[in-house]
Amino acid sequence: METFLIPIDYTDKSLKALEVAFSLASRIEAQLLLCHVFQPPVITGDENEPEFALPAYETKKHAVQQLRKYVNMVKSNAPTAVPLKFTTKAGDVVEELLDLVRARNVSMVVMGTGGSNSYMARVFGTTSEELVRHAPCPVLVVPKSAELGAISHIVYASALRPSDTEAVFVMAKLKKLFHASLSLLYVERKGQESRINVAVLKNYLLHNFDEDEVAYTMIEGKSVVDGIEHYVKTRDCDLVAFTVSDHALWKDLFHSSVTSRLLHTLNIPMLALPKHGKATALAHMQEKAGQQMDSVHPARRYKKGKQSPVKLQN
Task: Read off the pLDDT of residues 65-74 as tens digits, 9 standing for 90 and up.
Answer: 999 999 999 9
Give the DSSP H or E segment for 207.
Answer: none
Q: Which of 51, 54, 29, 50 is nearest to 39 (CA)?
A: 54
d(CA 84, CA 31): 6
The candidate with the shortest Cα–Cα distance to 199, out of 191, 190, 207, is 207
Backbone torsions φ then ψ of 265, nearest 5 degrees: -85, -30
Judgement on whether residues 273 and 200 belong to the same structural domain of the protein? yes
Question: Do residues 6 and 17 make contact, with C-beta atoms less than 8 angstroms apart?
Answer: yes
pLDDT at 176: 87
Domains: count for the chain: 2
Q: Is residue 305 domain-resident?
A: no
How far is the C-alpha of 99 from the C-alpha of 117, rounded, in Å? Answer: 27
Whether 310 maps to a domain, the answer reads no
Tell me: do 157 and 120 sit in the same domain: no
pLDDT at 298 over 80: no
Same-domain pairing of 176 and 268? yes
The answer to whether 99 touches 128, Cβ cutoff 8 Å, is no
pLDDT on residue 145: 77
101: domain range?
Answer: 3-144+295-300
Residues 93 and 37 in one domain: yes
From first CA to last CA, the distance across the chain in angstroms is 28
Average per-residue pLDDT for the chain: 77
Regarding whether 255 and 132 lie in a shared domain, the answer is no
**123 shares its domain with 10:** yes
CATH code at position 127: 3.40.50.620
Whether 34 is covered by a domain: the verdict is yes
Whole-number pLDDT of residue 276: 57
Q: In this predicted model, which residue has the larger pLDDT, 49 or 89?
A: 89
User: Which of 52-56, 160-164, 254-258 tops mean pLDDT?
Assistant: 160-164
In a domain, residue 108? The reply is yes
163 lies in the same domain as 252: yes
Q: Does 270 lie in the same domain as 161?
A: yes
Digit-coded pLDDT (tens) for 91-150: 888 899 999 999 999 999 998 876 444 433 444 456 777 787 788 899 898 887 777 677
Q: Are residues 52 and 166 in the same domain?
A: no
Any domain includes 288: no
Judge if 208 and 97 occupy the same domain.
no
In a domain, 179, yes or no: yes
Q: How far is CA 165 from the centre of its chain?
A: 20
Residue of 226, 12, 41, 206 lying closest to 113 (CA atoms): 12
Residues 218 and 237: their CA atoms lie apart, in Å, by 16
Q: The whole model's pTM is what? A: 0.78
